[in-house]
Amino acid sequence: MDGEASTNSWPSDFEAGLSELLDNVVVDENGEWKAKLSERILQLAGLRNNHPHFIVGEDSQESPDRSRSNSLRSTETQTDEMKKNVIENPKGVEETLRKLENGTLKHRMLEGYFTKSEAVSIRRKFIESQIGCPLNGIPHANYDYNLVNGACCENIIGYMPIPIGVAGPLKINGQDYYIPLVTTEGALVASTNRGCSAVMSAIKRTKELQDLGIVSTVFEDSMTRAPVISFKSAQDAIRILNWIKDPIVKRKIKEEFEKDSNYCRLEEIDPYISGSLLFLRFKAKTGDAMGMNMISKAANGAMKHILKVISNKFPDMRPKYLSLSGNMCVDKKASATNWIEGRGKSVVSGITIPEDVVQTVLKTSVDELVTLAKEKLLVGTSMSGTIGGWNAHAANIVAAMFLATGQDAAQVVSSSMCYTEMKKTETGDLYISCTMKCLEVGTVGGGTILKPQQTALEMLGCCGAAQVPGENAKRLAEIICAAVLAGELSLMASQCTDDLVRSHLKLNRSCANIGQNSSARFEVPPPPFESVPDFRHLSTTSNLERHHLGISEKYNNVIPGSQRVGELVKVDLFRNLS
């Protein structure tokens, strides 16, 4: 049979096979039938060789700055081969599982013997056998693991879908942006969006704001790494500290630091003494990368040079190089050093919100906001002893944007340090600013290589490397700081009223009954939304009360956990009322 005939017969073959499958489905109690049915449907779809296949992470355009882009072309072939091997040669998988069980093979080694997708499938089976729990709820198919291995994750068993919402538009430095926010916290996107609306309303009503909107500026840019050296005495540590301060010595260290990188440029070396310990805090620009790997490699090279010179110039010292990181960097910890000295991008954003916008959009007053900012953000934060915590919820927006754009999520702890200022202007309006001293972000490397995260960066106009090194990463930092400002504005306003509790009760409480066995659930599709009559105008409620109990019992029994019960009950109530 030629290719065209095979393609034309595929729909009928698929329909016949699917019909047979559905006729023979056995619904078990633990829900395993769903996974089995899905797998059989995938096998049926494989009857057609040229069916469309979506791979998460696939990029149809050549990207010159991605060294592994060519591997994307073979992903579909590898996926098909994986299915063939697993289905037609189950003994190979069974033998591998036995080796994993008896310890002769470590599951971290699977990628060395199988394709990336095969390794994930086999590892899942092994983990399921160890924990006695199916992993059906964690998806793993149709994902490009070629980008993930060796860059983003190890011992992979799948990927975790998280909802992504959008707030905006928000005008920042003269350009409108829609802000991508990845979160599972209901009300966060809605609240940030209200802050954006307040800003945009202020811009429309104020001629001076219409060109720029929020003005957001990176005023310092340097990533840091701080190795630590141990000496026999504090005096030896001080001798080396003074030696490093010599301009000629510094210049040579700078040469060694930068020799293996096109982008890493040493700005300063800040020494710190603690007894016999010497910490050297290297500060460097790292282009559009967040830069931890880049500066770590450069600092390690500089330290080797320093120790070599010390051994020749000060042979009696014999210092010990304890660690590339002495925790004075300071990475992934809220610290006073980062707040005072800065790390990554130091950014400030600000805008004036007219008094009438505060009243009409935010439903509060300038005086109430300014008072709350003083008593909550300054007094309350100071009493709690928080470092960099003079804000309402900067971490919410930082975390949501970090997840959306492929940043290092653990750095939220330091990147969300923020001081939110609110003050009343001479004309009675509200001036709000956010100062963030430690935004550790990049637009190349790490999670930014993954297609969904790249798309979020493209939304913000800062994906990949800029023509002027560092400009895209700076833009991302400025956008995040401005988005934090919008979020602060809305949440502080809601805390002046009852909006905070009301919004969270409405948007952050799940109605799903997750305690029920998922295999017992099924949902009746709701009618089109416009066909559900609005009967709120009815003046009598006796009929509603009369039917409420029976309808609730009926639908709770038939559709446990359904979030559409309310719509269906509406329809049933209307029928009874009429």
b/e sequence 421-430, b meaning 16+ C-beta within 10 Å: bbebeeeebb
Q: How many CB atoms lie within 10 A of CB 223?
A: 26
Q: Distance between CA 156 and CA 488 in Å, rounded?
A: 37
DSSP, res 153: B
- For residue 504, indicate whether it is catalytic: yes
| Type of residue numbered 539 | S
Q: Distance between CA 267 and CA 258 in Å, rounded?
A: 11
Q: Distance between CA 86 and CA 39 in Å, rounded?
A: 12
Q: Which is the catalytic residue, given 341, 408, 421, 488?
A: 408
* 3-class DSSP state of 431: strand
Residues contacting residue 337 through CB under 8 Å, at least 6 positions apart? 328, 330
b/e sequence 448-478, b meaning 16+ C-beta within 10 Å: bbbbbbbebbebbebbbbbeebbbbbbbbbb
Residues contacting residue 88 through CB under 8 Å, at least 6 positions apart? none
What does the angle CA 205 – CA 206 – CA 212 come to, to the nearest 5 degrees? 120
Q: What are phi and psi of 200, to 5 degrees?
A: -65, -35
CA dihedral sign of residues 261, 264, 268, 271:
negative
Nearest CA to 275 among 235, 239, 247?
A: 235
Q: Contact at 8 Å (CB) between 14 and 45?
A: yes
* Token pair 């450069």 in the structure block, residue: 298
Q: Which is the catalytic residue, given 185, 267, 355, 572?
A: 185
Q: Distance between CA 297 and CA 261 in Å, rounded?
A: 9
Q: Contact at 8 Å (CB) between 199 and 486?
A: yes
Q: Contact at 8 Å (CB) between 263 and 286?
A: yes
- For residue 408, indicate whether it is catalytic: yes
| Type of residue numbered 28 | D
Q: Contact at 8 Å (CB) between 244 and 250?
A: yes
Q: Which is the catalytic residue, given 504, 547, 554, 570?
A: 504
Alpha helices in 159-267 (DSSP H): 188-205, 234-244, 247-258
Task: Find out whether the peptide bond into 169 is cis, omega within 30 degrees of 0.
Answer: yes
Q: What are phi and psi of 270, to 5 degrees?
A: -100, 115
Q: Which is the catalytic residue, given 297, 332, 363, 376?
A: 332
Q: What is the largest CA-CA distance in the chain?
A: 99
Residues contacting residue 143 through CB under 8 Å, at least 6 positions apart? 55, 56, 57, 158, 159
User: Following CA atoms 103, 109, 111, 112 in sequence, which dihedral angle do they give, to the nearest 10 degrees?
Assistant: -110
As given in the structure block, the two tokens for residue 539 are 């003046």
**Enclosing H/E stretch for 321:** strand 320-323
Q: What are phi and psi of 267, to 5 degrees?
A: -100, -40
> Which positions are annotated as active-site residues?
185, 332, 408, 504
